[in-house]
Amino acid sequence: MKASHTDTVRDSGRKPTLSDVARVAGVSYATADRVINDRGNVAQKSVRKVHDAMAALGYVRNVAAANLSRQRTYRLAFLLPKGRNAFFSRVRAHLDNLVEHLIADQVSVDVIEIDAFEVAGLKNSLLSIADAAYDGVAVVGLQTAEIAEPLKALRERGTVIVSLVSDLPVDYRAAYIGINNIAAGRTAGRLLGLSHAGRAGRVQMVAGSLEARDHEDRLHGFREVINEDYPNIELLEPVMTRDDAGKVGAVVQQALDAAPDVTAVYNVGAGNSGLVATLEHCTRPELFFCIVHELVPHTHKALLNKHVDLVIDQRPDVEVNRALTILKALIDGRDIPPMQDLVPTIYVRDNLPSHIPDTTLTETQRS
C-alpha cells in the first residue's frame, strides 16, 4: 500500500497544493479556493476547470493549514450527569489526563454537569449552552422527544452533536458513541450460561431503572440468551434499585435469603458496592456466579477477591477518545474515519489493567 496516489500526478515529489490546482485550471487562487470550499459565486465554467484540475492532480486539502489560517480552535463541551458516580468520574478523569494534549491540538473542552436522568435538567443545559457557540458537544443522552427543540436549535447554530454512552433520538445527533447494550446483555447471558455447564440455576437480575435504555437493553439481551440456550436456568424478575448501593445490597441479601438456591446474580446497573458488601458476609452456594458492569475501584477489588466473577466494562477512556476524534472530523467537515464497533471489555481477574481506573470518589456508579 502506498498512501500517495502518485500514479495520477506528474510526480513532482510533493503533494499538489491549491496553487497547483489554480495554475492547472487557469484561474486565480481565490477562485480555486471558492470552488473547493463551495463558497459559490463562481462561473460554471470555472467550477468545471477547477474540478478537472483537482482530479488530474489528486488534490487533497490540507486541513491543518486551513485550520491554522482560520485560527480554528475546537470548542467542545461534554454534558455529563452530575453527582458522585464512579463511571462518569472515569470519564472526567480521562478528560483531565488529556488536557495538555488537547490544548496543544487547539481543543478546549468544558465539562457541563446535568441533573442525572432528568429530562428537564438536560433540556435546560442544552438551552443554556446555545449562547456559548460550541463547535461540538457530546451528550449523555436520553430518549425523549422533549429535547428535540433545543437539539435542533443547537444544530442550526452550527454545533455538531454526538451522543455518548446513552443515545439521543437518532435524528438529532450525528453519531452515537457507546456500546451495543443488547449485545452486552447477551454476552453476560452467554458467559453465565457457560458457567453453569448444564447445571440448573436460578439468577437474580438487578437493574437501576427500566426507564434507562441501557439497563433495559441489557436485561433484554440477557433474557434472550438464557431463554434460548439455557432452559435449565431460571430467571427471577429484576429488582429495581435506582442504582442505590444500599438498595442493591438489600435486594441481593433478600434474594439469597428467600431463595437459597440462587446460583447467580447479574446487575445491569450500578450500586455494586452494596452488592459486594452483601456477598462479603453471606454464605452462598458453591460455584455462585456474579456479573456486574463497569470497572471501578470496588468492582476491581471484588474481582480480585472473588466476590465478583466478571465485569463487563465500557472503557470510558476509549469512548472519550473516539468522541473527540469524531467531533473533530465532523467539525472539520471531513467524513468519519473508518471505525469498528465498540465492544464491551470483559474483565476476569486475570486481565485487569495494571493501574486502577482513575477516580477517587465514592460512588453511585451508573452505566
Q: Is 71 in the site for DNA (CB under 7 A)?
A: yes
Q: Is 124 in the site for a second copy (CB under 8 A)?
A: no
Backbone angles phi, psi at 13, to 5 degrees: 95, -30
Residues from 200 through 229 that contact a second copy (CB under 8 A): 221, 225
Work out which of 41, 340, 351, 354 binds DNA, going by CB under 7 A: 41
DSSP reduced 3-state for 11: coil
CB of 339 to DNA, least distance (A): 25
Query: What CA–CA distances, in Å, run from 144 to 53, 157, 163, 196, 245?
Result: 48, 21, 13, 39, 27
Q: How many residues sit in the footprint of DNA (CB under 7 A)? A: 31
Work out which of 47, 56, 119, 318 binds a second copy, going by CB under 8 A: 318
CB of 152 to DNA, least distance (A): 24
Q: Is 107 in the site for DNA (CB under 7 A)?
A: no
DSSP reduced 3-state for 345: strand
DSSP letters, 172-239, are G-SEEES--HHHHHHHHHHHHHHHHTT--EEEEEEES-TTSHHHHHHHHHHHHHHHHH-TTEEEEEEE
Q: Is 351 in the site for DNA (CB under 7 A)?
A: no
Work out which of 24, 42, 139, 191 binds DNA, going by CB under 7 A: 42
Q: Is 111 in the site for a second copy (CB under 8 A)?
A: yes
Alpha helices in the chain (DSSP H): 18-25, 29-36, 44-57, 63-69, 86-104, 119-128, 148-156, 181-196, 213-229, 245-258, 272-281, 297-304, 316-331
Residues from 270 through 309 that contact a second copy (CB under 8 A): 286-287, 309
Residues from 64 through 83 that contact a second copy (CB under 8 A): 64-65, 67-68, 71, 73
Could you give the angle at which helices 29-36 and 18-25 cross, rounded to 10 degrees?
110
Which of these ranges, 13-21, 84-92, 212-220, 249-257, lies near DNA under the rule CB under 7 A? 13-21
Residues from 286 through 315 that contact DNA (CB under 7 A): none
Contacts of 12 (CB under 8 A, 6+ apart): none
CB of 43 to DNA, least distance (A): 3
CB of 62 to a second copy, least distance (A): 7
Please, which residue, 70 or 281, has the CB nearer to DNA?
Answer: 70
C-alpha cell recorded at residue 357: 481506573
Please, which residue, 107 or 270, has the CB nearer to a second copy?
Answer: 107
Closest listed residue to residue 56, CA positions, set 98, 113, 6? 6
**What's the N-to-C CA distance of the chain in angstroms?**
41
Sign of CA dihedral 38, 44, 48, 49: negative
Residues from 224 through 253 that contact a second copy (CB under 8 A): 225
Q: Is 131 in the site for a second copy (CB under 8 A)?
A: no
Return the one option of a second copy, DNA, none that residue 30 interacts with (CB less than 5 to 8 A, by type): DNA
CB of 304 to a second copy, least distance (A): 13
Work out which of 4, 12, 62, 362 binds DNA, going by CB under 7 A: 62
CB of 38 to DNA, least distance (A): 10
Q: Is 365 in the site for a second copy (CB under 8 A)?
A: no
Query: What CA–CA distances, in Å, run from 27 to 18, 41, 206?
Result: 11, 14, 68
CB of 73 to DNA, least distance (A): 9
Contacts of 359 (CB under 8 A, 6+ apart): 86, 89, 90, 93, 296, 297
Q: Is 68 in the site for DNA (CB under 7 A)?
A: yes
Return the one option of a second copy, DNA, none that residue 184 interacts with (CB less than 5 to 8 A, by type): a second copy
Query: What CA–CA distances, in Å, run from 350 to 26, 291, 311?
Result: 65, 15, 12
Query: Which residues would be at the binding site for DNA (CB under 7 A)?
Result: 14-15, 17-19, 27-31, 33-34, 36-37, 40-46, 59-62, 65-66, 68-71
